[in-house]
Amino acid sequence: MSDTYLNLVNSGFTKKLAKQLGLPQPAPLRRYRPGQPLLEGPTLVLGRGADAEAVAGLLSTTWDLEVHRHATPELRYAAVVVVLTEVTQPTDLSEPVLAAAGALKSLARGGRVVTLSRTATADDAPAVAAARQGVDGLLRSLAKELRGGSTGNGIVLDAAVGVDAPSVVGALRFFLSTRSAFVDGQLLTVSSAAGTLPTSWERPLEGRVAVVTGAARGIGESIADTLARDGATVVAVDMPSAGEHLTTVANRVRGTALQLDVTAEDAGERILEHALARHGRIDIVVHNAGITRDKLLANMTPEKWDPVLAVNIAAQLRINEALLTSGDFADEPRIVSLASTSGIAGNRGQTNYAASKGGVIGMVRATAPLLEAFGGTANAVAPGFIETDMTARIPAVTRQVARRLNSLQQGGQPVDVAETVAFLASPAAGGVVGRVLRVCGQNMVGQ
């Protein structure tokens, strides 16, 4: 659905009027197109030590970016990368962070700020833990200050993970690119050095077979399109009632369609049977199918509660069990489940939906260790306000307010969710295990 307000405040007389009145002026976001350069302009890498030098070398030699190690006032930087992995006390933050502060004044529209830091643990010395945890508050606050469609995100490395680990490199490229246009204020933890870098960043899923549930429309349709664009063969799954739309999607992505109610007891077995019979393998499962039956808890009935839990979480658990016990889901498999910011922060009138989406977060956290022996992962994507048919039914005033509540002051698009799913499904995300990555434009207070 088009955001008329966003279009008005970025063109002609209405743009000038909005500025005079002090109205929000969200910037149109640049989204990924195949063949697009990773960055259009120089990159500033800040920080001392071997890690900062390694990151600068990676950006300049591997991706052929113009990299600067010291800020030059007259330059407009496309990205600022702040390497903080070697800080040992809060005062160590001052030099690189204040250097970044000066560079932010010349950050290009749609620019990127990415921090690299290490996990704060209970085993750390108090000063080390303070410095590392301080990066969390720093990054989230910085992201709220950026304008012009720019975003700030962070990569958090566990103790044994180097800055050159595949998932660190993959996450850095994702956050720098326009694929992450609506991901803002997020810190993604890389738990291990697992994963492999793709031979082609344009088609990182080449040779993989991906199943997408709820693929006939909306976010699921966009996920199918994006995975296919990235090289995957797609099995599009949806209800028989969506058969015509489902076939259209499957034909467009040159995949196959499977009409199936995911709540069926044998749904997992049927998905496996179809994928193996038609494509010879199954590598990626994206649990996107979901429903809402909103009602205040005081007025909740079994007819509104039970179906939401059945579709949104029970079906995923049942399908995952079939996958994990089959022996056919064992070649660096990926499970990516759609959660929601409602499952993290709650939402009035959505106790059933929030319970199911909170359940998804718990499920991927507990499922991930079961896949690690096969080089696999389970992760979740939690969308915020996304422009879909569902959000189009929200009353107009409420919809406008919801759009402006995040740091980017607009709703996301289905493709924003799809790009994040594609990253987590990629070989380069093998070290991202049991995590939740929000696609919400930083719409939650403090996060």
> What secondary structure does DSSP assign to 38-90, as a single string?
S-SS-EEEE--SHHHHHHHHIIIIIS---EESS--TT--EEEEEEE-TT--SG
Q: What are 402-416's pLDDT values in tens digits? A: 788 889 999 999 999
In this structure, are 182 and 233 located in the same domain? no
Q: Return the pLDDT at 261.
A: 97
Classify residue 421: in a domain, yes or no. Answer: yes
Please tell me whether residues 290 and 421 are part of one structural domain.
yes
Say whether both 111 and 63 belong to one domain: yes
The pLDDT assigned to 3 comes to 79
The rounded Cα 264 to chain-centroid distance in angstroms is: 29
Instruction: Tell me what the mean pLDDT of segment 428-442 comes to.
Output: 97
446 band by pLDDT with thresholds 50, 70 and 90 = very low
CB 105 within 8 A of CB 146: no
Q: Say yes or no: 181 and 258 in one domain.
A: no
Distance in angstroms (rounded) separating the CA atoms of residues 164 and 167: 8
User: Do 294 and 175 fall into the same domain?
Assistant: no
Q: Is 445 a residue whose pLDDT tops 60?
A: no
Which of residues 5 and 150 earns the better pLDDT score? 150
Residue 17 lies in a domain: no
pLDDT of residue 444: 65
For residue 101, what is the domain's CATH number? 3.40.50.720
Asked if residue 251 has pLDDT above 80, the reply is yes
Please report which helix (H) or strand (E) contains residue 127, including its range.
helix 126-145
- Please report whether residue 268 resides in a domain: yes
* 184 and 237 inside one domain: no
Q: Is the pLDDT score of 314 beyond 50? A: yes
| Residues 355-381: tens digit of each pLDDT | 999 999 999 999 999 999 999 999 999
**Statement: residue 72 has pLDDT above 80:** yes
The single residue listed with the structure tokens 């966009």 is 222
pLDDT of 99 higher than 50: yes
What is the mean pLDDT of the segment spanning 77-93?
A: 97
Verify that 224 and 153 share a domain, yes or no: no
The verdict on residue 25 lying in a domain is no
Q: Which residue has the higher pLDDT, 292 or 389?
A: 292
Range of the domain at 397: 209-439
Q: Is 3 contained in some domain?
A: no
Same domain flag for 160 and 44: yes
Task: Tell which of 190, 225, 242 closes a domain.
Answer: 190
Shared domain for 110 and 248, answered yes or no, is no
Q: In this predicted structure, which of 7-16, 269-278, 316-325 has the lowest mean pLDDT?
A: 7-16
| Neighbouring-strand partners of residue 263 | none
Cα gap 319→271, rounded to integer Å: 8
Same domain, 170 and 303: no
Q: What confidence tier does 443 reach under pLDDT thresholds 50, 70, 90?
A: confident
- The pair of three-digit structure tokens given for residue 266, joined into one six-digit string: 């044998």
What number is the average pLDDT over the span 47-56? 96
* Number of separate domains in the chain: 2
Q: Give 4's pLDDT tier (boundaries 50, 70, 90).
A: confident
The 10s digit of each residue's pLDDT in 378-402 is 999 999 999 887 777 777 777 777 7
Residue 119 belongs to some domain of the structure: yes
Among residues of the chain, what percentage have pLDDT more than 90?
Answer: 85
Q: Calculate mean pLDDT across residues 251-263.
A: 98
Looking at the structure, tell me whether residues 185 and 274 fall in a common domain.
no
Q: How many CA atoms lie within 13 A of 90 on its CB side?
A: 8
Contact status, residue 402 vs residue 385, Cβ threshold 8 Å: yes
Over residues 175-193, mean pLDDT: 98
Domain boundary among 159, 190, 221: 190
- The catalytic site residues sit at 353
Closest CA to 234 of 265, 255, 258: 255
The verdict on 110 and 250 lying in the same domain is no
**Amino acid occupying residue 212:** V
Averaged confidence pLDDT in the chain: 94
Name the one residue in this structure whose structure tokens are 């998932």.
Answer: 167
For residue 445, being part of any structural domain is answered with no
Final residue in a domain of this structure, among 163, 190, 217: 190
pLDDT higher than 90, residue 25: no
This model's pTM is above 0.85: yes
Q: Kindly report which listed range (120-124, 231-235, 420-424) carries the lowest average pLDDT score.
A: 120-124
Residue 18 lies in a domain: no
